[in-house]
A and B are shown apart, each in its own frame.
Chain A
Amino acid sequence: MGFKHIYFDEKVCNGCNTCVDVCMCDTFVANSEKGKPPILKYPEECWLCGACVTDCPKKDEGAIRIVTPFQLRGSFLRREGGSRQATACACSM
């Protein structure tokens, strides 16, 4: 599998294709099977604006999520603990 950073939860996503409509870089294509999540066809053309998540009607239920590409991970000081706990969850998807 090639690079991918946007994931759908098939159980939650209703295939409404809002993300396909709003994506400024046209990274998604609609699934040929109605009601199924779209396909992220051009992940490397994403601007990471997050509109696909912001406008998702089922975002609160976790229909769509972005796992930030690793080379874009921030450089910052960890003064008081803090850890990359969530990364592990993301990778287990």
Chain B
Amino acid sequence: MAEMKVIEHEADVLVIGGGLAGCMAAIKASEESGLRVLVTDKSNTVRSGCAASGIDHLWAYIPEIHEKMGYTLEDMAEDHRQGMASRFFRKDLFYLVAKSMYDRVMDLEKFGINFRYEDSRAPGKFRVVEQFHSVPASFNFDGVPLKPTLTREAKKRGVTIINRVQMTDLIATNGQISGAVGLNTRTGDLHFFKAKAIVLSTGRSNRLSRNPTGFDFNTRIPSSMSGDGTSMAMRAGLPIINAEFFSGQNTLAPSGNYNPNYGDPRNTVQPAARIIDGAGNVLVPRTQFYDWESLGKEKWSEDVRRKFLEGLRAAHLTDPKKGSPLHIRVKRGEGPFYLDFSEATDYEKEYIEWSIKNEGKGTQFLRYFKDEEGADLRKNPQEYSGYWPREIAGTAAKGVWVSNDLETDVRNLFAAGDEVGGLPWQAGPGAVAQGWYAGQMAARRAKGQRAFLPVDEDAVKARKEMCSAILDREIGFHWKEVELYVQNLMDFYCGSVKSASLLERGIVRLDDAKAAPMKAENPHELGRVLDVKSIIDNAELTLRSSLERKESRVGLLSFVRSDYPDQDDENWLCFLAIKRSQDGRFAFEKMPIEG
């Protein structure tokens, strides 16, 4: 049997996943004196998570701007509810993020991140643009150094960071979190943690669907994210919501190629990009920079929101009459469509390039576009299509159910950022603001608890046996084979249009994936096998939740059932929570959406 060392740790606060949320949680938790704060990351916190190599937008309620517009926090909540959240919206979580996000931006500035620009005419010399709301409410900033900076700040405060450890199990004692298990995917050691409080922040569930380019890790959201947190939460018996919104991503993306991760025409490429067809007809007009000279002169009104929502639908090429989003239009044979910058001024082009550069893969994309293709944003319209019809990660709607203090149903286990379900497109601000808050809550709980709870070590033994078997077996499937099996299965049985008969068949066939013996040659491959185990768990949640939701709806969170073609707000405008019991059975509960 492969000899796996078990390394033991004790943490007052353990943070699982050191992306934006995890780093913020650790920094905040370390403010409570005398606490031992540990962060584990399956990558390296310096460049891990959605903000790994950069981030270009953080939305916030910005009092010094929005008060002058007569735009209230309630107005912003309503924009988010109707627009990006398609009414699947937790108002309490929105307020938690929106109210504190401006203060968090000030914190990030103190850490050394640049948010102010001499050429800006906006209050505070900020660069603030329109993105997810009807007024400019998103900071553009120098986001490339964000993760290295947060890592440095965490270390400065005495936080211990353990990189390359992929977490696999949460352990509870009498309904309270007490420990966790993970694997170092470089050394092959198991890590066993005793903890007084845990913040779960592993991000979105990704890789559930086949990548249309054939380059499997060319995903929009980092491919390192395989829904490990959701899988652990599911196995701990916690409810997960919104797992059925799998085909909801109607976002436009460059056609069949490199995924630069700058989203749709209402995202990073605002304001100068528009969408045209091959004949040059404008399908989605460009927007404009906000005229800061007019700030305070004109008051915000419902009319502004109406125009914004119209623009949002147009930007996703959703046909309001037929309710067909872009990817269905493409299937009908419409297109090609192009993202066109030809009307951009020099300043706008420079600005957009700067913004793209700060967004994750953007730096690399621009280098490719210029150096390898000899192309220019202004001169060469990029083809756009409904590239990503099936992706659960995009909306960030799915996740574990939490209290309004971000605590899960297991006491002292908190969740933050995209791990949390209920606030679609909370994105960076969700991570930053909730991470901070969860870190504070976890630290308080840890402080109030004198001793570690007794931890049942069966989970460590079971994990050790499972990992050893994967390393030891002579013949077994490579992780990639099983991942592709699951992705093919999801694409076929849980596609853009679903039905009970297909979903039921998908659930049966997923059992084969669960039972498939996989083989790993080394700890790295063992980590990928664990990725696939998480992907299988997430696929099961999506298939079963899709079968349970008996209606159809279109929009940013679209869901189409051929056997239930009508939208049914009376019975289904609610969160559907799926929960697995110890005996492996699944149960559902409808969680009301609080007005």
Contacts and interface: CB of A to CB of B under 8 A. Distances in A.
A binds B: yes
Interface of A: 21-26, 41-42, 44-51, 53-55, 66-69, 71-80, 82-87, 90
A49 B53 contact: yes
Given A23-B43, A51-B53, 12 more contacts: A23-B47, A24-B224, A26-B524, A42-B524, A44-B217, A48-B217, A48-B259, A49-B53, A66-B364, A72-B218, A76-B338, A86-B372
Given A26-B524, A47-B223, A50-B364, A71 B380 contact: no
B303 interface: no
A83 B371 CA distance: 10
B382 to A, nearest CB: 4
A46 B222 contact: no
Nearest to A50: B364
A25 B224 contact: yes
A68 B368 contact: yes
B222 A24 contact: yes
A84 B373 contact: yes
A6 to B, nearest CB: 11
Contacts of B176: none
A50 B372 contact: no
B43 to A, nearest CB: 4
A44 B484 CA distance: 14
16 contacts: A26-B527, A47-B218, A47-B219, A48-B217, A48-B258, A48-B361, A54-B53, A54-B364, A72-B218, A72-B257, A72-B259, A74-B254, A75-B256, A82-B374, A85-B374, A86-B374
A54 to B, nearest CB: 6
A84 B185 contact: no
B48 A24 contact: yes
A25 B255 CA distance: 24
Contacts of B144: 54
B360 interface: yes
Given A74-B369, A86-B371, A86-B372, A25 B223 contact: yes
Interface string B163-200: 01000000000000000000001100000000000000
Interface stretch (B208-216, B410-418, B455-463): B208-216
Given A21-B44, A47-B224, A78 B52 contact: no
Given A47-B219, A49-B361, A71-B214, A82 B338 contact: no
Contacts of B148: 55
A73 B376 contact: no
A41 to B, nearest CB: 8
A66 B367 CA distance: 9
A75 B255 contact: yes
Interface in B489-536: 524, 527-528
Given A48-B361, A49-B222, A54-B144, A25 B215 contact: no
B375 interface: yes
B363 interface: yes
Q: Which of B214, B215, B256 has the most CB of A within 10 A?
A: B215
B interface SS class: loop
Interface in B32-72: 43-44, 46-48, 52-53
Contacts of A54: 53, 144, 363-364
A79 B43 CA distance: 42
Given A24-B52, A47-B217, A47-B224, A68 B363 contact: no
A24 B144 CA distance: 15
Contacts of B214: 71
Nearest to A46: B217
Given A26-B43, A51-B47, A51-B52, A79 B380 contact: yes
Contact of B373 (A47, A49, A71, A86): A86
B373 A24 contact: no
Contacts of B255: 75
B280 to A, nearest CB: 10
A47 B382 contact: no
B383 interface: yes
B379 interface: yes
A24 B254 contact: no
A50 B254 contact: no
B37 to A, nearest CB: 22
Q: Which of A71, A74, A84 has the most CB of B within 10 A?
A: A74
Nearest to A67: B372
A84 B373 CA distance: 5
Q: Which of A45, A46, A49, A75 has the most CB of B within 10 A?
A: A49
B361 A84 contact: no
Contacts of A72: 213, 215, 218, 257-259
B43 A25 contact: yes
Contacts of A86: 371-374
A75 B257 contact: yes
A79 B217 contact: no
Contacts of B367: 50, 53, 66
Given A25-B43, A72-B218, A86-B373, A77 B338 contact: yes
Nearest to B339: A76
A53 B382 contact: no
Contacts of B256: 75
Contact of B222 (A42, A47, A85): A47
B468 to A, nearest CB: 21
Contacts of A83: 374
Q: Which of A25, A46, A66, A67 has the most CB of B within 10 A?
A: A25
Contact of B223 (A45, A71, A74): A45
B257 A73 contact: yes
Contacts of A68: 258, 368, 372
Contacts of A87: 372-373
A80 B258 CA distance: 22
Contacts of A45: 217, 223, 528
A84 B224 contact: no
Given A69-B215, A82-B375, A74 B258 contact: yes
B381 interface: yes
B18 to A, nearest CB: 11
B341 to A, nearest CB: 11
Given A49-B47, A50-B361, A76 B372 contact: no
